[in-house]
A and B are shown apart, each in its own frame.
Chain A
């Protein structure tokens, strides 16, 4: 199918500088056409800030948080070059600190090749140990090997979850953007990001690479959220992980033994838990109607997805089609380019009444032909597919179901389901569902659930 890639936009994780660069996450907004596909290098450049310089409150917050603020560096074991940098902050007097998982993912997945160090604002440095990770919320809990230099620096307190922050409240985000130097960025709290499956706070301020894992504080200096990502297609649209997730990770992992082996099994376990909830919730929702006169086409609810539609101009001489493209904004970062834990559903409804049977069938089959299910790479196996002609509600439907297995995350699979209606001589619908990071059973369930979403709009006899 000719999916509209112009509607793709970028969301950058903020932790990775240097080799890892910025990650472009797919999301969609109507600005897509204007923003285009911004190259990663451009995305990494500092963004202009329309903020006024930090107020006196900002000075106070920074002065207070300064001793508890850290830079977290991942270095190659054999040399002192940094492979990624992010920020972090102290949450206990023993020196426990919180940062993003994506800041320390190289170490977590390859501890034999990397090491972790911190640097304080006043120039202290030391080695770090990884205690626990929360891949889904992109958080990590660390502890210094030698707690002494971080002793008596105080802690960043958590803002109680029952004290709701009003929209428009000032938030101060701290960190070390682009490794330039420690900074405080002031912005507004804009509530929760809408239609996100995972709760994310919408911070109306600039977050830059290198600030990942830094604290976002209210005007009393209490933790509201953890810097995590920003949209690269807009300005000052940034996201924070809610403080509650960091608090839970601290409670769970503060006495854990340091991680010295690759965490793949733990990552897989967390992702399996996550997908179980996601797929259950997705399947529990009824499909929306697509408004097609002939076919019942599965379109997901927009509770945690966003759908964009487009179509051919009415003057088009050839094949006419309407397209719907639904994706999730929430994705789970695992490693480098590997993002998982999301579902997308697309379809194209074709009308060949201006073409005639043969020409329509040729284009319709051509659209079915050029689908890609990925290749073998270092994260996933090449896809294996099964294909059947199924008959949901009596509608003949060609279904291709492909699965790839994650090479190092046992029990996780990527699912793609490609469908094409087979009954129409000059009309047809092709659909595709993609879901990343599922258990095998959930892949089977979701595939069938998607196929069951197809059918006739009315009883077969009436519709023809």
Chain B
């Protein structure tokens, strides 16, 4: 008789991560819930009464929740702070998929009448398999190029060790640490998943370092150079961290996005505020610290006579700095009259 197709309902006991920890088939009503051993479903929780609640249909077939002799009552609904039904109260269950909380236990009631949501598409990690290998290879080659450029001709092979050993080891340790986090929260040591997050990020960081400053220098746009240096590395690092954290705690998407956005905005804000205070400018660097490659240099040089006129605005800017400084340090016994 107790065959799966004969079940009247399914009660899922939810774990802390919101996933079902235990499932109980219901083959007959009423179902009693409580700590006592005579209940249909025994809930071993100190905040649950001996006979905490009963689920039973009425004559019309509607399912009702009757709260038993409990001081904590039953919280009904999936909202963050659902209304609590006190002892003795009765409520018709808003089927389907009703969530109720008894003490510290969350239960979900599923009925055969409920409409199932559509099947969702299973999304693979953004980069996986061959694509991931290609990204890893591209990043290693870019780093190898960077290393090659930095070494003098005829450099000893030991000088390649940081690239050959240090970089792969560093990435492995990084992914391993995050994978341990996955093991803790998601019950899976997802090394490749984390590698698929960090490697595209590292590739983007390396590519940024090689391309954007050179582009800005070639165009002669210091603003692009400064803005890129201020914004892009923090954004890329934040994107990498976001990927790792979402992998760990997918259901905490809003908190992760909000937290990282706050961190990013606060970090940039504090950095800019410190620059403005100490240097009187938004960006940390006083000048564009990159030279264009001769063949990639655009624009026509200006005559040297233009430099005097270009300097002219500095006089007012510096006077303003001096004025601000005098206002910040009122008479210290040495202020000129």
Contacts and interface: CB of A to CB of B under 8 A. Distances in A.
B213 to A, nearest CB: 9
Contact of B326 (A358, A364, A407, A445): A407
A403 B154 contact: no
B158 interface: no
Interface in A64-102: none
Interface stretch (B29-37, B66-74, B117-125, B301-309): B301-309
Given A354-B153, A384-B281, A396-B297, 20 more contacts: A110-B334, A262-B333, A265-B336, A317-B152, A358-B149, A382-B280, A385-B286, A387-B288, A388-B310, A390-B301, A390-B303, A391-B301, A397-B301, A399-B304, A401-B310, A403-B318, A405-B318, A410-B322, A425-B294, A444-B307
A390 B305 CA distance: 9
Interface residues of A, number: 70
A354 B151 CA distance: 12
Given A390-B302, A390-B306, A382 B292 contact: no
23 contacts: A110-B333, A268-B336, A317-B152, A356-B153, A361-B291, A362-B150, A368-B290, A368-B291, A369-B290, A382-B278, A382-B279, A384-B280, A385-B287, A387-B288, A390-B304, A391-B301, A396-B301, A405-B322, A407-B325, A408-B334, A408-B336, A425-B294, A447-B311
Nearest to A416: B286
Interface string B138-151: 00000000000110
A261 B337 contact: yes
B20 to A, nearest CB: 58
Contact of A448 (B288, B308, B333): B308
Interface string A414-425: 000010101111
Contacts, number: 163
Interface string B307-337: 1101111110111011001100000011111
Contacts of A381: 280, 318, 321-322, 325
B302 A112 contact: no
B4 interface: no
A368 B321 contact: no
Bin chain B's interface residue count.
35 or more
Contacts of B304: 390-392, 399, 448, 451-452
B234 interface: no
Contacts of A319: 152
A355 interface: yes
A398 interface: yes
A264 B290 CA distance: 39
B299 interface: yes
Contact of B335 (A356, A396, A405, A408): A408
Contacts of B287: 371, 385, 387, 400, 402, 418
A152 interface: no
A167 interface: no
A354 B154 CA distance: 11
Contacts of A211: none
Given A373-B286, A402-B287, A447-B307, A264 B334 contact: yes
B33 to A, nearest CB: 70
